[in-house]
Amino acid sequence: MELKAKVTVQPREKPKRTSIPKEVTITRVLLWKDPWEDSSEMKINKMLAKYGFFDSSRNAAGSFVNDFVNNNNGTVTDKTTGLMWQRGGSSGTLDNWGAKSYIEQLNKQRFAGYSDWRMPTVEELASLLNTNSGGGVHMGSVFEKKQSACWTVDQCDADSSFHLGVWIINFKQGQIQQAAYKKPSFAVNFPSYQKNDMNYVKAVGTAN
């Protein structure tokens, strides 16, 4: 009589949930790209709360989730906002008129193959504020660190009838701040306001 070996089949263990990688879903966030002609501190605070942007003085608990891609052509795409940024920016600080001229030159030169570069709104530029200050600036590691304070196109109160106020982003301090520059209706020799009136430019466009 032939004896058969008894084979015991062990049940397969179900994979543990912790061992299954979870996919992170990034929801596209559309930011306002048209310039604000006038905006108050209250409007800035509402914006920070709406998007969860970080600001070291107004919303230190903010943490906006970007999804950066280095395009290796001097630009960075943020898949969260659908915006394409200069990885660097202007080589030096410029007054507000110089900043606009810089953008014009980028478009004439078709920087990275595009001719629709513009100065960012405060919503767009604030989306780059990072909680961590790697390299001395509150900005993602994919960007160059030189451009530590940059112009936006959004106007604010300049506390003067002779000057225009505009918001800037100070990445070194991790804050949205006010700057001011001379109104074009006044003579060239009218004194500068000297309130954060020299900053870098980081151009933005819409990613394809």
In this predicted structure, the answer to whether residue 2 has a pLDDT above a threshold of 80 is: no
Classify strands 75-78 and 68-70 as parallel, antiparallel or unpaired. Answer: antiparallel
Q: Taking Cα atoms as reference points, which of 73, 100, 101, 99 lies closest to residue 88? A: 73
Q: Is 37 helix (H, G, I), strand (E, B) or coil?
A: coil
Please give the mean pLDDT across all residues of the chain: 85
The pLDDT, as a whole number, for residue 77 is: 97
CB of 164 closer than 8 Å to CB of 180? yes
The pLDDT, as a whole number, for residue 58 is: 96
Q: What does the domain layout of the chain look like in residue ranges?
A: 31-206
| pLDDT tens digits for range 83-140 | 999 999 999 999 998 999 999 999 999 999 999 999 999 999 999 999 988 889 999 9
- 195 pLDDT band (50/70/90 cuts)? confident
Give residue 25's region: left, alpha or beta (phi > 0; psi -120 to 50): beta
What ranges make up the beta strands (E) of 49-162?
68-70, 75-78, 83-86, 149-156
Other Cβ atoms closer than 10 A to 188:
6
Tell me how far apart the alpha carbons of residues 195 and 92 are, in angstroms, rounded to a whole number: 17
| pLDDT tens digits for range 80-96 | 999 999 999 999 999 99
Indicate the Cα dihedral angle 102, 103, 105, 106, nearest 10°. 120
The pLDDT, as a whole number, for residue 193 is: 59
